[in-house]
Amino acid sequence: MAPNTPAPSGSSGAATLAELVRAQWGDHRVGAKYGELRLTHHQLAGGAAARAALLRELLPRGVPPHVGVLLDNVPEYPLWLSAAALAGAAVAGLNPTRRGPELARDLAHTDCALLITERARLPLLAGPALPLPPERILVVDDPAYRQLLAPYEGTTPDDITSGPGGTPAPATRMLLTFTSGSTGAPKAAVCSQGRLAAAGQSLAGRLGVRRDDVHYLCMPMFHGNAVIAGWAPALVGGAAVALCRRFSASAFLPDVRRYGATYFTYVGRAVQYLLATPPAPDDRDHPLRRGFGTEAGTVDAARFAERFGVRLTEGYGSSEGGAALQRTPGTPPGALGRPAPGDDLAVVDPETGAELPRARLDPAGRLLNGAEAIGELVNRGRSSFEGYWRNPEATAARTRGRGAEGTGAGWYWTGDLFFRDAAGFFHFAGRTDDRLRVDSENLAAAMIENILARYAPAAGAAVYAVPDPIAGDQVMAALAVPDGAAFDPDDFTAFLAAQPDLGTKMAPRFVRTMAALPVTATNKVHRVALRREGFRCPDPVWWSPLTPTGPAARALPAGSTFRPFTAGDRSALLALYREHDRAHLLDR
């Protein structure tokens, strides 16, 4: 087969991840790259088989076959994913931003009987007793780990799947993927081998994955972005993966060139980091053809394509598997696509379940009726959502019924805000948690962020609600201002006045300037942290002062501007919150 042909039908028709791993056996092309290390597909399959044999030896009888993995993006991560696939076990990817009691809770909640980690991560486990004994904590860069593996070297994938455990079925659990946990403890979404194999096949086909492709995995592998959209399509298409321990904007292009990477996955904040690096004359000197991810925004995607010559393809698919959108020919800029054939997706009022009116857009694609068109995306048909591990309440909430007569019973509720245009294309408008209510009008933070993204002096923008001292919310924006740059309030006010799609309630009342926006471990803007700090933060804050006797939050008056938010302003404003018994809302 020519090296640039699509994946063979045998692997693309696999029903399980185990089948895809077995298909690597005998393929002596390079399958993984990490620094100077090169592993063939054959070596990856053999390494996975050895680890699967060790896994079956170490797992106690009568417990869920769950493995916690607390690693950066190192070769051991895909090896253990493949080992779990062969052995019929599930991997719970652990978030390294969590500590001690939190990690212990995550391990206990997912019933992990084995933990795979590295010496650099051991301090994160300090504190309370872990829910598994020391002999079932494997440290991959410790010599004892190699000694444990040694007796199993030479095991083949067929030795595992034809052994006592048998061949895993499509319904066999494969992943336990934690949600962000922005409110309460993180939930672990279940993903079966069949669903992950199908997702990999779908993306491999849509993206045209070829055997000579190299997928650069720079997003953390404990999250679905890297595994579902990066690793799985490579496995289906027979492509190689290149591993980046942690995302680095400065190392991105050097890595891409060194590894010959043709594809990468991203989140919006990572794209902003890349755009913030100093331009260079060789920015287009690389083999990248495409990026695939979420929340880059139309403006940043256009800037990325212009600077690096790489098209970013925005996708949408919930980690839980309940809903997905596909880009089709004719998808307009800013839209994510339409549902797959047979899917019944709709934008509905989250309170009543009633479908909302279609969006009206001006010739430039700007939304004109956001207040009536933006709602929650639901899947009213059959979904592939497989539930949350040991959390029936959260599972029921995702598939809850709506209305007095059970309107929407059995629907999958995504928790994401969307609008749908007249042609039937869906547009992302933010998370339901990122909705603001200003003067009784509902606003989506993402829509305001898309406007602020045009403000050239800022490298990034995040919009979130702060409680109004009287009723509802006010709009606050955090702007990432590069080192050495100063915020010009008059220039920012003029920018806002020039935006034709900035609604009368959308102008920020508060602006926080900071060197860089805070991000989560998955490189998404940490809006929860921003929201909790509000205007009580260590960074400079600018504001357009309130009129205490007027409406709680009105649009920026014509001709006004922002001024520094002083200690005196803060004291007076906090007194107003106390006067109206709303000070407690600042700590939500």
Mean residue pLDDT of the chain comes to 88
Question: Which of these three, 383, 400, 434, is where a domain ends?
Answer: 434
Residues 88 and 146 in one domain: yes
CA-nearest of 248, 61, 79, 262 to 165 is 61
**Domain contains 30:** yes
Question: Which of these three, 417, 434, 451, is where a domain ends?
Answer: 434
Q: Is 465 exposed, middle or buried, given 0-12, 13-18 or 19+ CB atoms closer than 10 A?
A: buried
Report pLDDT digits (tens) over 260-305.
999 999 988 789 889 989 999 999 999 999 999 987 878 889 999 9
pLDDT tops 50 at residue 555:
no
Q: Within a 13 Å sphere around the CA of 225, how many CA atoms are in the beta-carbon half? A: 26
**Domain contains 242:** no
pLDDT tops 70 at residue 429:
yes
**Domain contains 450:** no
Residues 405 and 489 in one domain: no
**Domain contains 268:** no
| Mean of pLDDT values over 128-155 | 95
pLDDT tops 70 at residue 552:
no
Query: How high is the pLDDT of residue 440?
Result: 60
Residues 61 and 175 in one domain: yes
For the chain, the 3-state helix, strand and coil shares in percent, each to the nearest 5, are: 30, 25, 45
Report pLDDT digits (tens) over 2-49.
333 333 333 558 999 999 999 999 999 999 999 999 999 999 999 999
Q: Which residues, 6+ apart, have CB-to-CB distance to 567 below 8 Å?
A: none
DSSP string, 518-567: -B-TTS-B-HHHHHHHTTSSSS-EEE----TTS-SS-PPPTT---EE--H
Residues 399 and 499 in one domain: no
**Domain contains 250:** no
Cα dihedral 297/301/304/310 (nearest 10) = 140
For residues 185 and 388, the model is more confident at 388
Q: What are phi and psi of 323, to 5 degrees?
A: -155, 150
Confidence of residue 214 (pLDDT cuts 50, 70, 90): very high
Question: Which of these three, 434, 467, 496, is where a domain ends?
Answer: 434
Residues 394 and 468 in one domain: no
Query: How high is the pLDDT of residue 10?
Result: 39
What is the number of domains present in the chain? 3
**Domain contains 348:** yes
Q: pLDDT > 70: what percent of the chain?
A: 92
- Label residues 553-582 b or e (16+ Cβ within 10 Å = b): bbbbeeeebbeebeeebeeebeeebeebee
Q: Which of 130-134, 189-193, 296-300, 337-341 has the highest mean pLDDT?
A: 189-193
pTM (two decimals): 0.80
Tokens of 160: 């595992």
CATH of the domain at 386: 2.30.38.10
Query: Can you give the residue range of the structural domain that contains 47?
Result: 9-213+225-237
Residues 57 and 178 in one domain: yes
For residues 72 and 267, the model is more confident at 72
Q: pLDDT > 90: what percent of the chain?
A: 64
Residues 463 and 417 in one domain: no
pLDDT tops 70 at residue 406:
no
Residues 429 and 352 in one domain: yes
CA 444, 447, 451: angle at the middle one, nearest 5?
Answer: 145
Residues 184 and 82 in one domain: yes
Whole-angstrom distance, CA of residue 110 vs CA of residue 173: 12
**Domain contains 308:** no
Residues 51 and 197 in one domain: yes
Query: How high is the pLDDT of residue 117?
Result: 98
Query: How high is the pLDDT of residue 177?
Result: 95
**Domain contains 296:** no
Residues 202 and 339 in one domain: no
* β-sheet bridge partners, residue 428: 418
CATH of the domain at 65: 3.40.50.12780
Query: How high is the pLDDT of residue 409?
Result: 53
Residues 396 and 468 in one domain: no
CATH of the domain at 533: 3.30.300.30
Question: Which of 199-208, 454-463, 500-509 comes out lowest in average pLDDT?
Answer: 500-509
